[in-house]
Structure 1
Amino acid sequence: MSKLLENQVAIVTGSGRGIGREVALLFAEHGARVVVSDKDDAPALEVVSAIREMGGEATAYCGDITSAGFAESIVDKGISEFGRLDILVNNAGYTSDSLIHKMTDEQFQAMLDIHLIAPFRLIRAATPYMRDAAKKEIEQGIVHHRKIVNVSSGAGVNGNVGQANYSSAKAGVIGLTKTVGKEWAQFNVNTNAVAYGFIDTRLTRPKEEGETVEGGTIGIPGKVRDMFIQKIPQRRPGTAREAAESIFYLASPLSNYVNGQVISINGGL
């Protein structure tokens, strides 16, 4: 099988676990050098180790993606390690659910910070190595496509009960995607988004399992989860690998004429 991302460099946020982990591994399988990023060191380093064991190249950059200076620092890490930046995947995130009349300012702002403001900052920080680098290449007659893939959600398209904060942030990601797609298309930077439905990750597992992020319990109550699955025409959640494959398509040369689009990955829901 040909390696569609040979010698390209990718930053994948939230890639210590779940969908992001599968994206990082899939990119590496296709020859990309990957900057693996997670808030926690251990899962990120495990992914780096797995990539190196398969003969690939990877490095880790960990920390709070919402903190000031994170975006510039992770981009600098990729450039210092690998010398270029071809692919940026804004994947990191979590949920903090509540009905709107009970939702706090802090809950609402937290979702904007990680799902919308952090991707904006990363795209801005990547400007010299994506937009500006491409501009110089075009002046030399070189055409090389770079890719930005943002992760939205069906909640950002249709709304979702208990997720006013998450839905608002993910809707904002769609606006960001379409705008950057229009601004940077002339520089051969393809900017697209995936809008996931029900993907089997720790964010969608039974809430009764007690998994927590940022001090809050994540997941979906078991009975609600079962009812939701029955609404999916394919009658099952998507796997993290299936979700990663949609990002891979948008990051690969297969999508060189796809720009400013939001692709729903939801089993027909």
Structure 2
Amino acid sequence: EESEASCRPIHSQAHGVNLVCCGGNSTLNKDCEFAQYCSLHDICTCSILLTEKLNCTLDRKGSLFQWRDHSKSGERLHCNSPNLPGNDTTTPYTVRIEKWNEITTTPFVLSLCALNVTTLTILDKGDLLSTWDLTKCMPRLRVLEITLGTVTRLDIYQLFRSLRWLETLRITNVGFDFWHSVSPWVSSISYLHIENSALRELPKWLSLARGLKRVHIQGTRVHSIESIAAMENLQSVKLAKNEIGSLGAIEFKSSQLFDVDLSFNKISSLSSSIFSACSELRVLDLSNNPLSALPG
């Protein structure tokens, strides 16, 4: 009964929060704009969007807010205790933060530590990002995206470095540096996307990511791709608009690699055997590089 109660279909918009919970046999009214969302999930799943209109109180007094399907509720929303459904730590939550207000967003987000958050998207800078350890708050996180409106330098050293189950990492418009010690998620990561960043180096331990299938690194200061070339199961690698120089000593190891984009770099030479192991290679873009000739 508890699982059914926590899984009751809900689409509720209140206090700058948009909440959708459904999936499996629990479906929303067919006229609801999120009805199709339910069909995408075999089990009950919740999605929550925090907008710039987030309006919650830090006052702990009064009754907790009650989330009702397509119905308004008169209670105040408590930042520290939003009383979200599915708080049995089994219902997967997707969280999207559009705007970060230090007074209200931070306590609200920290309250989500009690939930099973598996996907987190952050679209605005919050001071918490420089001190937060997601391992202690959202240890089951599988997808993390940080996409800021303008390029911003952030110290996100401890934010996600210790996550164990991370599969997708997408970072855009964030200046940061990787660390030297191996992260546990090297065993689980399958997609890595870094764009518009002052990032200079990729860690050597990234070559240990045997499950990494797709890499997209664009608009950075990265000049060496040794760790990427050493990946044995890579299928697609997009490395446009970086500062990659000579590839005279680089050989890609993955026989599954079929798509390579090295355009708009500073590549002046290639190893004659750079793609010898890539029997599945179908697409290769070397445009806009100072190459005088291709290896025979």
Higher strand share: 2
Whose relative contact order is higher, 1 or 2, with alpha carbons under 8 Å and at least 6 apart? 1
Larger helix percent: 1
TM-score (norm 1): 0.30
